Amino acid sequence: MIELKSPAEIQRMHVTGRFVAEVLSEVGRIADVGVNLLNLERHVRGMIERRGAESCYWDYAPSFGRGPFRNVICLSVNDAVLHGLPHDYTLRDGDVLSADIAVSIDGWVADSARTVVVGTAAEEDLRIIRATEEALEAAIEVARPGNRVGDISAAIWAVARDYGYPVNDEFGGHGIGRTMHEAPHVSNRGRAGRGLTLRPGLTLALEPWFARTTDRIVYDADGWTIRSADGSRTAHSEHTVAITEDAPLVLTRREPENPAMRADSARADGTLSSG
């Protein structure tokens, strides 16, 4: 069932989206060499509690997971790309970290993800991150009334092809609103002109994710963390977007960041260090 939201309801989702954007900006600032994933998760948990928000991941138990998810954020490193279960791992120089979070405030949900490089960045890692970001912007651009879900999928796929990255279509975007996952499914690979017609009031989480050299995935023993099947590095970008009469409205857009603040912020918070 597709639920169209009123302008007032979209504004309530925007409140949640601004907070989600704030959390991911904070993750980008404090993810640094020497930071443990468990401490990073606890830091985000504290932000959610102080805001009076509710994690959509805590106790999340879909058919593909192993038991309920007992964390508030997905943290995926290097060849891991989706549903990364936070664990006792200390970030190293050159690691690629994808962070994905969904929360609810006053009954309305927003969902977003970003990928950053910790410490020294390799050009090939920056390239795949850039590809997912460009694919996301291309998807947002066509998220307009009268277009179809297939136009979004085709826009993502076109960017991936231009970069030479294969695309997995098992996991993709989705409707969102009162719950984290609503209809419709939005594949990251598809044909223009196909699928549901986009209408004002439809709210979608759009999330291109790519691996460098494969479209196949494998699961860790934890039953949650999804990795590229060949161990190649990955990236993931996601925004919650509302279809309006005019331009698409990105509900989780982050403010421009100063990269120089990242290391200073991480060092200032001693609770994030593994040692």
Which residue ranges are tagged as binding site? Answer: 83, 100, 111, 174, 181, 207, 238
| β pairing state of 96-105 and 108-117 | antiparallel
CA distance 146 to 132: 25
Taking phi first (over 0 means left), then psi (-120 to 50 degrees means alpha), and beta for anything else, what does residue 52 get?
left
Q: What is the residue whose two structure tokens read 């954020």? A: 73
Which DSSP letter does residue 238 get?
A: B
Q: How many other β-carbons are positioned within 10 Å of the β-carbon of residue 178?
A: 14
- The binding site for substrate comprises 83, 181
CA distance 203 to 222: 31
DSSP secondary structure of 14-41: HHHHHHHHHHHHHHHHH--TTBBHHHHH
Residue of 146, 175, 145, 169 lying closest to 157 (CA atoms): 169
- The binding site for a divalent metal cation comprises 100, 111, 174, 207, 238
Give yes or no for a contact between 174 and 102, defined as CB atoms under 8 angstroms apart: no
DSSP lists the bridge partners of residue 6 as: none
CA 24 from centroid of its chain's CA atoms = 9
Task: Please tell me the number of Cα atoms within 13 Å of 187 on its side-chain side.
Answer: 17
